[in-house]
């Protein structure tokens, strides 16, 4: 399955090269897969980071 990641900063989409896309995807999937009680079939992961 092909995977894609979209990075937006202040609602502006930021272009990512192949290496950065793969790092983001692999690191986040690895972290998430270590969690308990995940759905069996994960189709979409959303991460939102906001300054407070």
Domain count, the chain: 1
**SS3 for 28?**
helix
Q: What is the pLDDT of residue 32?
A: 96
Q: What is the pLDDT of residue 4?
A: 93
Q: For the chain of 52 residues, list the mean pLDDT of each consecutive stretch of 10.
A: 91 97 96 95 94 93
Q: What CA–CA distance (Å, rounded) separates 26 from 19?
A: 11
Show the domain range for 47: 1-52
Q: What CA–CA distance (Å, rounded) separates 21 from 30?
A: 14
CB 48 within 8 A of CB 31: no
């Amino acid at each position: 399955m092909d995977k894609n990641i979209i990075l937006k900063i202040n609602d502006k989409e930021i272009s990512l090269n192949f290496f950065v896309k793969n790092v983001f995807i692999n690191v986040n999937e690895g972290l998430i897969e270590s969690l308990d009680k995940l759905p069996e079939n994960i189709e979409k992961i959303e991460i939102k980071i906001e300054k407070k």
